[in-house]
C-alpha cells in the first residue's frame, strides 16, 4: 500500500512497543499481585493480601488502559493484521477476555462486598485465578505470533478445526512463553511489593523470598523457550544467533536480572525495583527488535501491513496531543498514590472500609 520507504509504520511500531512496555511494567505487576494473592501463605497471609490490594487499588484501571491503546493502534494502523490475529487466535483471546472481565469485576466486588472472610475469600479466589490465567494467555498470543504460527495458519485452507484454531498456539514453545510472561509479572510484582511494604520487615522478607522464586521460574522458562524454539519457532531461533541490537538487549536483560537479585540480596529494595523494571523493559525491547521488521513473522512486515501514510500521520498527531494530556496526568496520579509507601493504614481505610455514615445529629 505504501512506498516501502515510509518511516511512519516504524514509528507507530515503536509507540506500540512503548505501550506494551508500559503495560507489562504496570499492568503486569498488577497481574503478578494477583498471583501472590493466590499463593499467599504463612502466618502473614492476611497482611500479604492486604498489602497487595492496597498497592493495586487506586491504579488498576489506569494500568490496563495500556492494553486498549495497543489494540486500538493495531486495528487503526495495521487493520489486516488485527483481522488475521483475531481470527486465528480467537480461542486464546476469548479466554483472555473472560480473564479480564472476571479479574476486574472480582477485584472491585471484593472491595465493596461484605467484609466477612468467606465472601472476601471467594472474590479473592476469582481475582487471583484470573490474574494467573490472563497474563499467561497474553503471553501465549504473543508467542504464537512470534513463532510464525499465526501467519502460517492464515494461509491454511480446508484443514480441521484443531489444526487451524488450536494447533498454532497449543505447542510447547508457545505455552512456555505463557509461563515466562506469568513468571515475569510475578517477579516484577514481588520486587515492587518489597518496596511497597515500607517499614514492615517481615513482609519485605516474604516478598523477597517470592522474588527469588519467581526469578528462578523466569530463568527456567526463558532457557526452556530457547531450547524449544529450534523445533517450534525456527525463525525466532535464527534471530537469537546474530549479533545485533536485539542480541545486546538480550544480554542486558540477563544482566539486569542479576543486578536485581544482587540488590534484593543486599535488601536495597529501591534499587532492586529499578533493575527489575529495567529487566522487564529490556525483555520487551529485545523481543521487539528481534521481531522487527515483521509484524506477523515470517511473512508480513510492518510496512506492508500499514494503513496509508495519511492515516498514520493523523494518528501520530493524535498520539502527540494525547501524550501532552496524559503525561502530566499520569505523573500526578503516581505522585498522589505512589510517592511514599507504607501509607498502608490510612489507605486501607479509604479503599476497603465501609463508608461510615455520620451519626444523626
How does DSSP classify residue 300? E
| Binding partner selected for residue 107 from ligand HEM, another protein, none, CB under the kind-specific 5 to 8 Å limit | another protein
For another protein, which is the closer residue by CB, 112 or 223?
112
**How many CA atoms are closer than 13 Å to the CA of 139, on its beta-carbon side?**
29
With CB under 6 A as the rule, give the number of residues binding ligand HEM: 3
For ligand HEM, which is the closer residue by CB, 61 or 113?
61
For ligand HEM, which is the closer residue by CB, 2 or 76?
76
Q: How far is 202 from 267, CA to CA, in rounded Å?
A: 12
Q: How far is 164 from 91, CA to CA, in rounded Å?
A: 11
For ligand HEM, which is the closer residue by CB, 68 or 83?
68
Q: How far is 23 from 60, CA to CA, in rounded Å?
A: 11
From 118, 225, 217, select the one nearest 171 (Cα to Cα).
225
User: Degrees (nearest 5) of the Cα angle 263, 265, 268?
Assistant: 40
| Binder of another protein out of 18, 39, 100, 342 (CB under 8 A) | 100
| Interface stretch with another protein, choices 51-59, 234-242, 264-272, 284-292 (CB under 8 A) | 51-59
| Binder of another protein out of 104, 198, 213, 254 (CB under 8 A) | 104
| Binder of ligand HEM out of 7, 61, 90, 350 (CB under 6 A) | 61
How large is the C-alpha radius of gyration of the chain? Answer: 21
To the nearest whole angstrom, how small is the minimum distance from the Cβ of residue 72 to another protein? 5
| Binding partner selected for residue 318 from ligand HEM, another protein, none, CB under the kind-specific 5 to 8 Å limit | another protein
Does residue number 160 form part of the binding site for another protein (CB under 8 A)? Answer: no
Burial (CB count within 10 angstroms: exposed 0-12, middle 13-18, buried 19+), residue 99:
buried
Does residue number 319 form part of the binding site for ligand HEM (CB under 6 A)? Answer: no
| Distances from the Cα of 287 to the Cα of 145, 219, 358, angstroms | 12, 16, 55
Burial (CB count within 10 angstroms: exposed 0-12, middle 13-18, buried 19+), residue 284:
buried
Q: How far is 26 from 62, CA to CA, in rounded Å?
A: 9
| Binding partner selected for residue 219 from ligand HEM, another protein, none, CB under the kind-specific 5 to 8 Å limit | none
Does residue number 325 form part of the binding site for another protein (CB under 8 A)? Answer: yes
How does DSSP classify residue 360? P
| Binder of another protein out of 13, 52, 53, 69 (CB under 8 A) | 69
Residue 285 grid cell = 525491547
| Binder of another protein out of 11, 18, 274, 311 (CB under 8 A) | 311
For another protein, which is the closer residue by CB, 111 or 235?
111
From 268, 72, 234, select the one nearest 149 (Cα to Cα).
234
For residues 205-264, which are near another protein according to CB under 8 A? none
| Interface stretch with another protein, choices 30-38, 215-223, 292-300, 315-323 (CB under 8 A) | 315-323
Helix (H, G, I), strand (E, B) or coil at 294: strand
From 304, 302, 279, select the one nearest 291 (Cα to Cα).
302
| Binding partner selected for residue 76 from ligand HEM, another protein, none, CB under the kind-specific 5 to 8 Å limit | another protein
To the nearest whole angstrom, how small is the minimum distance from the Cβ of residue 100 to ligand HEM? 10
| Binding partner selected for residue 248 from another protein, ligand HEM, none, CB under the kind-specific 5 to 8 Å limit | none
Does residue number 330 form part of the binding site for ligand HEM (CB under 6 A)? Answer: no
Burial 149-166 (b: 16+ CB within 10 A, else e): bbbbbbeeeeeeeeebbe
From 108, 105, 129, 125, select the one nearest 117 (Cα to Cα).
125
Does residue number 67 form part of the binding site for another protein (CB under 8 A)? Answer: yes
| Binder of ligand HEM out of 68, 101, 119, 258 (CB under 6 A) | 68
To the nearest whole angstrom, how small is the minimum distance from the Cβ of residue 142 to ligand HEM? 20
Binding mask 79-98 toward another protein (x if CB under 8 A, else -) reads xx-xxxxxx--x--xx--xx
Q: How far is 316 from 323, CA to CA, in rounded Å?
A: 10
Binding-site ranges for ligand HEM (CB under 6 A)? 61, 65, 68
Amino acid at each position: 500500500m505504501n512506498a516501502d520507504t515510509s518511516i511512519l509504520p516504524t514509528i507507530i511500531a515503536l509507540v506500540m512497543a512503548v505501550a506494551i512496555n508500559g503495560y507489562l511494567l504496570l499492568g503486569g505487576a498488577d497481574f503478578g499481585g494477583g498471583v501472590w494473592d493466590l499463593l499467599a501463605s504463612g502466618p502473614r497471609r492476611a497482611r500479604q493480601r492486604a498489602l497487595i490490594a492496597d498497592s493495586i487499588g487506586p491504579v488498576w484501571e489506569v494500568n490496563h488502559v495500556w492494553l486498549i491503546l495497543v489494540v486500538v493502534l493495531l486495528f487503526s494502523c495495521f487493520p489486516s493484521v488485527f483481522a488475521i490475529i483475531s481470527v486465528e487466535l480467537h480461542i486464546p483471546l476469548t479466554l483472555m477476555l473472560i480473564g479480564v472481565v472476571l479479574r476486574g469485576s472480582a477485584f472491585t466486588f471484593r472491595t465493596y462486598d461484605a467484609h466477612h472472610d468467606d465472601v472476601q475469600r471467594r472474590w479473592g479466589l476469582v481475582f487471583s485465578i484470573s490474574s494467573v490465567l490472563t497474563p499467561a494467555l497474553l503471553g501465549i498470543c504473543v508467542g504464537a505470533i512470534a513463532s510464525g504460527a499465526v501467519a502460517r495458519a492464515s494461509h491454511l485452507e480446508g484443514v480441521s478445526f484443531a489444526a487451524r484454531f488450536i494447533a498454532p498456539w497449543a505447542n510447547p514453545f508457545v505455552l512456555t512463553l505463557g509461563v515466562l510472561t506469568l513468571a515475569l509479572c510475578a517477579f516484577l510484582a514481588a520486587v515492587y511489593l518489597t518496596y511497597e511494604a515500607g517499614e514492615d520487615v517481615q513482609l519485605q522478607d516474604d516478598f523477597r523470598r517470592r522474588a527469588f522464586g519467581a526469578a528462578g521460574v523466569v530463568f527456567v522458562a526463558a532457557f526452556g523457550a530457547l531450547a524449544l524454539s529450534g523445533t517450534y519457532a525456527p525463525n525466532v531461533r535464527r534471530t537469537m544467533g546474530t549479533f545485533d541490537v536485539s542480541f545486546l538487549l538480550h544480554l542486558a536483560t540477563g544482566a539486569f536480572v542479576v543486578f536485581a537479585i544482587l540488590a534484593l540480596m543486599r535488601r536495597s529494595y529501591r534499587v532492586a525495583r529499578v533493575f527489575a523494571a529495567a529487566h522487564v523493559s529490556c525483555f520487551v525491547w529485545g523481543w521487539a527488535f528481534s521481531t522487527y521488521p515483521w509484524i506477523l513473522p515470517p511473512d508480513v512486515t510492518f510496512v506492508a501491513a500499514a494503513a496509508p501514510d495519511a492515516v498514520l500521520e493523523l494518528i501520530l498527531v493524535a498520539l502527540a496531543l494525547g501524550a501532552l494530556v496524559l503525561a502530566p496526568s499520569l505523573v500526578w496520579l503516581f505522585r498522589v498514590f505512589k510517592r511514599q509507601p507504607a501509607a498502608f493504614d490510612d489507605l486501607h481505610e479509604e479503599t476497603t472500609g465501609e463508608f461510615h455514615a455520620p451519626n444523626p445529629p
